[in-house]
Amino acid sequence: MRLDPRTGQAIARIVLWTLTIITVAILVFIIVFILRRGLPVLSLEFLTKNPVDMGKAGGIFPTVVGTVVLTAGAILIATPLGVGTAIYLTEYTWGGPLTRIIRFGAECLAGIPSIIFGLFGFILFVTKLKFGWSILSGSLTLAFMILPTIIRTSEEAIKSVPPVYRTVSFSLGSTKWQTVTRVVLPSALPGIVTGIILSVGRSIGETAVVIFTAGSALRLPTSIFSSSRTMSVHFYILAREGISMRNAYGTAAILIIAILGINVLTYYLMNRFIKKYS
Amino acid sequence: MGHQGKQGSGRRLARNDRLVRLALLVVAFSAVSVLLVITVFIVGQGTPIMFKYGLKSFLTGTSWYPSEKLFGLWPMIVGSLFVTAGALVIGVPFGLACAIVLTEFSSRRVRRVIKPVIELLAGIPSVVYGFMGVVILVPFIRETFGGPGLSVLAASIILGIMILPTIISISVDSLQAIPPSYREGSVALGATKWQTVKMVLLPAARSGIVASIILGMGRAIGETMAVIMIAGNAASVPRSILDPVRTLTSNIALEMGYAAGEHRQALFATGVILFVIIMVLNTVANVTASRMKGTKR
């Protein structure tokens, strides 16, 4: 017996929607679960006090500082490289083997698991270059990890700037570089910023890279050569070693809030950017 | 005079432009150089010990006792394959369903809600996924099916969720890249929407969907922290999906903290195997995806 196409359609619709709703429900569940247990723990003191007894009590201040400093370092290193690559790929070449190699390199880099970045950062920065477990080693390795994201988003942002902008700029006698810095980049800025914010999210959530390159010292870092612990690493250690579930939930809640904020921000920026050019 | 000055500055600008182009070219090679340096370091650190003890004993040896110089990676290779296959069993149907609903079965308003939600899934840190596995999934499996709970099954389910954003976003892109005439033609022939999806759109987007699945595989194989927390990490070949398992990534992360000498080199060798698997997957996905672009336009 053949199924009536309309019945088939109805069944397919129900199955597909069920799977989709389950997916959305999983996400909502994770967020609600963490926030319900974590939000009551949060207070200004939790964020600004030093941990007591390896994190059993007290706050998470040093890990907040560690997260901010490591992430900022990674962004500062990766942004010029990523945006520069994107400018070269979009404005200075038109296909050819060279571009294909660069693109292939970026795409492969995007697929490399964080544990490999961690191993690499450990052997090169921590041991060979003798930076030790430090903010410097961590930021450099994280920068390499987020580089492909920044390249891809910047490239898309620059590509979506209408060609007419460039033509007008050239017709006014500007050089290529003037056109890039004064016309193309300002127009592409919201798109580029979106990529940077996404990378901030990846850096905040990363654990494997940070443990192997920045270590997990729970002190306040004093220089770029200090070892430092990020919130993700702190959360991992609290949960895995069963130090304090209460503080683990609190730390996870902050991570979730940060990720939510980042997503809302990128969504808002993206929408504005798309509206501008369509 | 003024005219000459202008010409001079024009020449200077042109020379600056050439310098800028050169500088940008150097910067543009940053990603490729990083990739090369990573390859050199991982391979350089990991391969000597593989050849010292023989590639075959490394890949097929079933005992991992670093203190007794036994470096058999077979349990970890099998472990990685099991959890990745499990992740695909869960991730592919859910991912494809979401992609089809997003592109074909939903209104714009609904899409505007679902899409950011799915993007949010990609942003949640892997330690949080691992943690959810520990507090919800592992106890559930232990009480319902028996066994330790920390298992292939737990890791597969969590990894299946974690690879959803990869599968969904790339599948959505490839479904959206299909020219509208495909849909119009099919509907004009009297096909229902589902028939159109099944017989026209999915075959047309095949290479993109395959690429999305391969990239999802890469993510599952490469995931570390979540797997460490929920897979149990026993370095033996699992006999059922309820047995604990150790993956290649966990093997590195668990022991790197205290490993030294040949033990550390063996962990780098684990990294080499992981690296090779990932590079093969990336290249295949890349070729498949570019074939899709080739046939579309």
Q: Return the CATH number at A213.
A: 1.10.3720.10
Whether residues A12 and A133 fall in one domain: no
Q: What is the mean pLDDT of residues A113-135?
A: 93
Supply the pLDDT for residue B5: 46
Q: Strand pairing partners for B245?
A: B232
Q: Are A136 and A214 part of one and the same domain? A: yes
Q: Is the pLDDT at B297 greater than 50, yes or no?
A: no
pLDDT tier at A171, thresholds 50, 70, 90:
very high
What's the pLDDT tens digit per position in A197-246? 989 999 999 999 999 999 888 888 888 898 999 999 999 999 988 888 99
Specify whether the CB–CB gap between B286 and B275 falls below 8 A: no
Compute chain A's Rg from CA coordinates.
Answer: 23
What local confidence, expressed as pLDDT, does residue B1 receive? 39
Q: Does B294 touch chain A (CB under 8 A)?
A: no
Tokens coding A98: 């060279």
Say whether pLDDT at A1 is over 90.
no
Domains assigned to chain B: 75-295 (1.10.3720.10)
* Chain mean pLDDT for chain B: 89
Eight-state DSSP code of residue B232: B
Amino acid at the residue B59: L
**Which of A84, A122, A232 is closest, CB to CB, to B127?**
A232
**Where would I find the beta strands (DSSP E) of A114-157?**
none
Asked whether residue A34 falls in the same domain as residue A115, the answer is no
| Spatial distance between the Cα atoms of A122 and A86, rounded to a whole number of angstroms | 28
Same domain for A86 and A119? yes
CA nearest to A126, candidates A55, A53, A209:
A209
Both A36 and A102 in one domain: the answer is no
Encoded tokens for B297: 């336009």
Dump the DSSP string for B47-79.
HHHHHHH-HHHHHH---EEGGGTEE--HHHHHH
Q: A262 and B123: CB-CB below 8 Å?
A: yes
Shared-domain flag, residues A27 and A81: no
Say whether B178 sits in a helix, a strand or coil. Answer: coil
**pLDDT in the model for residue A64:** 93
Could you give the number of structural domains in chain A?
A: 2
Same domain, A11 and A138: no
Same-domain check for residues A35 and A50: no
Q: Is the pLDDT of residue B12 over 50?
A: yes
Judgement on whether residues A125 and A213 belong to the same structural domain of the protein: yes
Assigned token pair, B290: 């570019």
Place of tokens 């970026």: A106
Contact B128 A256 (CB under 8 A): yes
Domain of A17? 5-41
Residue of B nearest to A146 (CA): B31
Q: What pLDDT is recorded for position A219? A: 86
Rounded CA-CA distance B200/B112 in Å is: 25
A16/A110 same-domain check = no
B37 and A108 in contact by Cβ < 8 A? no
Compute the nearest-CA separation of A228 from chain B (Å). Answer: 16
CB contact at 8 A, B119 and A263: yes
**In a shared domain, residues A14 and A50:** no
Nearest CA in chain A to B112: A267
Please give the sequence-ordered ranges of beta strands (E in DSSP) within chain A, or none if there are none: 51-52, 57-58
Are A122 and A37 in a shared domain? no
Q: Is B43 on the interface with A (CB under 8 A)?
A: no
pTM for the full predicted model:
0.91
Look-up of token digits 């919130």: A231
In this structure, are residues B150 and B231 in contact, taking their beta carbons and an 8 Å threshold?
A: yes
Q: What is the mean pLDDT of residues A253-261?
A: 93
What is the pLDDT at residue A120?
94
Least confident of A81-85, A131-135, A201-205, B287-291: B287-291
Best mutation site among A22, A23, A200, A206 for testing chain B: the one with the most B CBs within 10 Å? A23
End-to-end CA distance of chain A: 49
Q: pLDDT band for A94, please (50, 70, 90 cuts).
A: confident
Confidence of residue B4 (pLDDT cuts 50, 70, 90): very low
Average pLDDT over residues B254-265: 89
Report how far residue A154's alpha carbon sits from residue A151's, in angstroms, rounded to the nearest whole number.
5
pLDDT bucket at B67, cuts 50 / 70 / 90: confident
